[in-house]
Amino acid sequence: MKKDLAHIKDFLDESYLKYNNKSFIENDPISIPHLFSKKEDIEIAAFLSATIAWGNRKSIITNATRLMNWMDNSPHEFILNHSKKELKPFEKFVHRTFNGNDCLFFINSLKNIYTKHNGLEDVFKNKSNDSEFNLKHNITNFRNIFLETKHLSRSEKHISNPLKKSSAKRLCMFLRWMVRDDKKGVDFGIWKSISPKELCLPLDVHTGNVSRTLGLLNRTQNDWQAVEEITSVLRTLDPKDPIKYDFSLFGIGVNKDLKL
């Protein structure tokens, strides 16, 4: 390892310990799935919260809480057994460009996934014949199944497609929540079908800008190619758990803590 990269690794490891603790939860969308203990409740709450996780974090948490309240704070039970009448509040849901039609489609699609496809974890498994693991396959498989349910074409933009170069930030973040298990109390680690070493960085403005400032990312666009580039670098820093550095890069960016 180069001296400079070793220095950067030390800085990122220090930042990881600083930001990856339970105090992180309160002001982050991950606080919503932390309201639950049942596996299916956690993953549904996490998926819906991650889906609307763009913009102001306070607004994200407020709107995700609203969704959980409308589901009587039993999201799995609601997804499986809701009545037509119980869907009425969701018709008027709005978060940025995610509207009531999108919301109803997501509920119906989740019902299809839990009744016909053995749940969210199963549809994210890598079912490709590609011997080299690539999270892009998992996300693509999930997306294909998710879109089986009748929907408006406008709703498809809310399910990112890395095959069309999307960074799939929210899906990568959701997978980090479900897969990583470092006993720090933030990520859940309840999915065992994907290994932490196979995750990809949730690439956003903060993680992208800090990665470039540190010289870890050359690509200027925040697209899937950039995700693969930065994730490849992070795997050299920690082959078993590269996406632990999401805490570092995001925390440094949000808190303007870039002091090398």
Residue 52: give the domain boundaries: 3-254
pLDDT in tens, 45-68: 999 999 999 988 999 999 999 999
Q: Please list, residue by residue across 219-249, b when 16 or more beta carbons sit within 10 angstroms of its beta carbon and e when fewer do.
A: beebbbebbbbbbebbbebbeebbbbbbbbb
Domains identified in the chain, total number: 1
**Is 83 domain-assigned?**
yes
Q: What's residue 55's pLDDT? A: 87
Query: In this structure, is residue 53 part of a structural domain?
Result: yes
Alpha-carbon gap, residue 206 to 203, rounded angstroms: 8
Q: Is residue 56 part of a domain?
A: yes
pTM over 0.85: yes
Does residue 30 sit within a domain?
yes
User: Residues 31, 61: contact at Cβ < 8 Å?
Assistant: yes
Examine residue 111 and state whether it is found in any structural domain, yes or no.
yes
Residue 259 belongs to a domain: no
pLDDT at 1: 45
Q: Has residue 260 been placed in a domain? A: no
CA distances from 94 to 88, 104, 110, 225 (A): 13, 12, 19, 31
- Over residues 162-209, the pLDDT tens digits come to 999 999 999 999 999 999 999 999 999 999 999 999 999 999 999 999
251 pLDDT more than 80: yes
Q: What is residue 256's predicted lDDT score, i.e. its pLDDT?
A: 83
Contact by Cβ (8 Å): 196, 240: yes
Predicted confidence (pLDDT) per residue in 113-146, tens digit: 999 999 999 999 866 555 445 899 899 999 999 9
Does 47 fall in a domain?
yes
One-letter amino acid at 185 equals G
